[in-house]
Amino acid sequence: MAASTNKRADRSLVLWIVGAVFVATVVFSIFGPKEADDDPRPTTYNAGTQGLKVAFLLTSQLGYGAERATGPETWLATVDASKTTAVFAEPVPPVKDLKRLQDAVAEFINRGGRVLATGSGGARLLPGGETAAPTHVYQGLCYSQPEGPGSLARVGTIATTMPVRWSALGPQFRVEQRCGVDGVVVALHHGEGEAVWWSSPQPMTNGAMMENSNLKLLLATLGPAAGRTIIFDEYLHEQHETIFDTVGGLPWRSLGWQLALIGLLLILSFSRRNGPLRASVTLPRTSPIEFAESMGRLYASAGATEAAVGAAERRLLTYLGDRCGVAPEVLRGPAQGIGEVLQSRTGEDWSDLISHLDHARNAEGQTMTAKSALSLIQALELDETKLREKFAMRRAQTLRRD
């Protein structure tokens, strides 16, 4: 009987909390300031899907004291650590202040404080915290698997994004939730206090707080509500470095030495013209016969007899098509057809031209000796010369008749 009564009480408590979340969401959506829903900043001022406004309002309704920290980390040393939970949701700690921030957070935890930190920036604030790229790329949310008997594992499966994974090792770290083999919820003890790291603030964002397991994870992380204050850090969500901070971090001494070295090289490389000006040498134009000889040597060194024969054949066929009026389909056909067309137009026998064209076509894909190739090229050129003479005589006779 007592067990059933406890179950009904737990069920009533969960229903009451879910109802409070729903009411807070509705009230804030009606009366809260309008902001773009695509605002990705996990701040308590952001009413969009990725903001933490609902979590901030809900904690005050559940008996916690909810506050915002809008200044530097000095507030960590002034609060009652044993009754305070500090929330660092995706902080962006300045590099020049990182050591001071780490010392302040470690001292706060050592005095009995609780810390909730998320993302790679949050891990850098924790003692010994390290993150790395996940071993598996998730396109959307990953659904975790609880590990161990801890309170953070007993909340069940959660849905979260996974931009990074926990990579630090040591007995002080205890992985409570994993996505695959990667830790996404990790608890660590330091001194009298405890810190909890999430891979991302997704479970406590406005758009995810309606999930029962996400709400349970947040409450288990924050600690008991009696007399506890939740302080959401807003200071580390903003950039506080000035242009002077950036310039001050430059290695000026090293830059000075490099500039001095560059200047010395410029001085040593300077030169001026000495002596009288001389006209540039004008190289004589290479004669055509030298070009022919150089091309001949090139063909000879490459053994390109086939290319030379092919060039002579194409030149003859081009002349037959352009000047003699032989149709393209005849030129692509057997050499006998070309001879018949020429015989019909000139009345002469062109059997030598037919033989030479057949020989040239049969030489394709074969290696000819230089002597054979030269003889065939000369024969093809002689055929072209005869054609030129024959058709020149025909044009002259036609002009005389006209």
Q: By CB neighbour count within 10 A (0-12 exposed, 13-18 middle, 19+ buried), where does 262 fall? A: exposed
The torsion region of residue 281 among left (phi > 0), alpha (psi -120 to 50) and beta comes to beta
pLDDT at 81: 93
The model's pLDDT over 28-55, given as tens digits with 9 standing for 90+, comes to 555 555 545 678 889 999 988 889 999 9
Burial 222-250 (b: 16+ CB within 10 A, else e): bbeeeebebbbbbebbeeeeeeeeeeeee
More confident residue, 6 or 84: 84
pLDDT at 347 over 70: yes
pLDDT class for 133, splitting at 50, 70, 90? very high
Which two three-digit tokens encode residue 65?
């004291």
The model's pLDDT over 281-293, given as tens digits with 9 standing for 90+, comes to 665 655 566 766 7
| 388 Cβ neighbours under 8 A, 6+ residues apart | 319, 323
What residue segments make up the domains of the chain, in order of their start?
2-239, 289-401
pLDDT class for 368, splitting at 50, 70, 90? confident
The model's pLDDT over 311-333, given as tens digits with 9 standing for 90+, comes to 888 898 888 888 888 888 988 88
Please tell me the number of Cα atoms within 13 Å of 196 on its side-chain side: 22
| CATH number among 3.40.50, 3.30.70, 3.30.950, 1.10.287, domain 2-239 | 3.40.50
More confident residue, 220 or 391: 220
pLDDT at 306: 79
The model's pLDDT over 187-213, given as tens digits with 9 standing for 90+, comes to 999 999 999 999 999 999 998 888 889
Q: Considering only CA atoms, which of 162, 214, 236 is closest in space to residue 55? A: 214
pLDDT at 1 over 60: no
pLDDT at 189: 92
The model's pLDDT over 254-308, given as tens digits with 9 standing for 90+, comes to 778 888 888 887 777 665 555 566 666 665 655 566 766 776 677 666 666 777 7
pLDDT at 142 over 70: yes
pLDDT at 242: 54
Give the C-alpha separation, 340 to 347, whole Å.
10
Contact 179, 202 (CB under 8 A): no
Contact 236, 119 (CB under 8 A): no
In whole angstroms, how far apart are CA 308 and each of 30, 185, 193, 380? 88, 77, 91, 11
